[in-house]
């Protein structure tokens, strides 16, 4: 703090601002440009200039056994972040800025981690078509939360059909029970409703027959086809594999919550913010 002897006014010298501390308040403390300018008694432009000068320090990787959680989040349709996170240490291992979420980019990320010396003992990911079959002998757990979301998209949250309601009840067992109990419940459901699933209706115009309950069939088929990967955590219990990617989804939610305080950032500044948040 300085005082002018001629006018008696006091002011805070901008050269006393610590850029590292300022960046910490901006990213972690969720302080806006205006709040920081008021706190340090300087202009918005000075705060922007100081923040732009800050250099992001990236963590050096320590090679080890990892269980890779991977998922992608988006801001609009043209900008997203694909993140690879270690479920054991909760450390972020790798990220890509992506326009599209593709299997090729996921496979490239896994190969990059292996090339850096990480031993990937398991992978947890969503159920993108073809993705869970892409990693050779590495155990892959499909995120049960994503599977439940797929079923809800087909059946809605409050289905009207009795068969759909009972399938939702079976789905709810997924996160509460072991593999054998879940498979048994699904098989019992299918045995009870198999004839109902195979009902067909005739199109009055084309005269062609189609399945009457297509959404219900699709929901069951999705659950049955992915069954092999929904309980990898159970088949490889010694590896302590998570059954969802919730740890990474929560990280994304926290990032977006912090970024909401800084609407209007340029792409360069937004990427710098994200780099610091993930520190990779």
pLDDT over 80 (residue 35):
yes
Asked if 37 and 25 count as a contact pair (C-beta separation under 8 A), the reply is no
Q: What is the pLDDT of residue 30?
A: 76
Give the pLDDT score at 7.
65
| Average pLDDT of every residue of the chain | 89
Burial class of 86 by CB neighbour count within 10 A (0 to 12, 13 to 18, 19+): buried
Same fold, 1-55 and 62-143+244-280: no
Comparing 53-57, 147-151, 235-239, the range with the smallest average pLDDT is 53-57
Of residues 50, 49, 25, the one with CA closest to residue 258: 25
Pairing of strands 79-86, 2-3: unpaired
Distance CA 2, CA 43 (A): 17
pLDDT band at residue 55 using 50, 70 and 90 as cut-offs: confident
| pLDDT 10s digits, 178-206 | 999 999 999 999 999 999 999 999 888 88
Token pair 């067992």 is found at 173
Q: Give the pLDDT confidence score for residue 76 in this predicted structure.
A: 86
What are the sequence ranges of the domains in the chain?
A: 1-55, 62-143+244-280, 157-234
Residue bearing the bigger pLDDT, 85 or 258 = 85
Give residue 10's pLDDT. Answer: 63
Its CATH architecture, for the domain 62-143+244-280, is: 2-Layer Sandwich (3.30)
More confident residue, 75 or 11: 75
Residues in the chain: 280
Query: Which pLDDT band, with edges at 50, 70 and 90, does 223 fall under?
Result: very high
pTM, entire model: 0.81
What is the model's pLDDT at position 39? 84
Tokens 């955590």 appear where?
A: 233
Give the ranges where 80-173 is alpha helix by DSSP (H): 103-115, 144-155, 162-173
63 contact partners, CB below 8 Å, separation of at least 6 = 116, 117, 118, 119
pLDDT at 9: 64
Q: Which residues contact 143 (CB under 8 A, 6 or more apart)?
A: 71, 124, 125, 126, 127, 243, 244, 245
* Per-residue pLDDT, 8: 65
Stretch 9-16: mean pLDDT, rounded?
Answer: 57
Q: What integer pLDDT is reported at residue 6 of this predicted model?
A: 64
| % the chain with pLDDT above 90 | 62
Per-residue CA distances from 80 to 73, 76, 90 (Å): 5, 8, 21
Instruction: Provide φ and ψ at 276, rounded to 5°.
Output: -70, -40
CATH code of the domain occupying 1-55: 1.10.10
pLDDT higher than 60, residue 235? yes
- Please give the pLDDT value at position 173: 94
Q: What is the pLDDT of residues 123-181, one digit of tens each?
A: 999 988 889 999 989 999 999 999 999 999 999 999 999 999 999 999 999 989 999 99
Q: Looking at the DSSP assignment, which residues form a beta bridge with residue 220?
A: none
């Amino acid at each position: 703090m300085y005082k002018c002897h001629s006018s008696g006014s006091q002011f805070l010298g901008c050269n006393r601002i610590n850029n590292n501390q300022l960046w910490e308040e901006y990213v972690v403390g969720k302080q806006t440009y205006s709040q920081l300018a008021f706190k340090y008694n300087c202009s918005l432009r000075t705060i922007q200039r100081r923040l732009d000068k800050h250099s992001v320090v990236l963590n050096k990787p320590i090679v080890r056994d990892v269980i890779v959680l991977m998922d992608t989040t988006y801001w609009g349709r043209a900008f997203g972040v694909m993140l690879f996170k270690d479920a054991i240490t909760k450390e972020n291992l790798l990220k890509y800025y992506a326009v599209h979420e593709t299997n090729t980019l996921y496979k490239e990320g896994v190969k990059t981690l292996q090339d850096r010396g990480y031993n990937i003992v398991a992978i947890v990911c969503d159920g993108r078509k073809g993705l869970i079959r892409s990693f050779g002998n590495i155990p892959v757990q499909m995120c049960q939360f994503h599977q439940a979301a797929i079923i809800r998209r087909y059946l809605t949250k409050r289905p009207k059909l009795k068969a759909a309601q009972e399938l939702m009840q079976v789905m709810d067992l997924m996160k509460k029970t072991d593999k054998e109990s879940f498979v048994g419940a699904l098989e019992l459901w299918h045995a009870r409703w198999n004839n109902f699933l195979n009902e067909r209706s005739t199109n009055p115009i084309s005269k062609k027959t189609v399945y009457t309950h297509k959404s219900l069939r699709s929901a069951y088929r999705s659950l049955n086809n992915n069954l092999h990967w929904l309980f990898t955590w159970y088949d490889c219990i010694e590896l302590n594999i998570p059954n969802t990617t919730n740890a990474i989804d929560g990280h994304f939610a926290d990032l977006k919550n912090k970024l909401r305080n800084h609407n209007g950032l340029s792409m360069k500044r937004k990427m710098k913010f994200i780099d610091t948040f993930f520190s990779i």
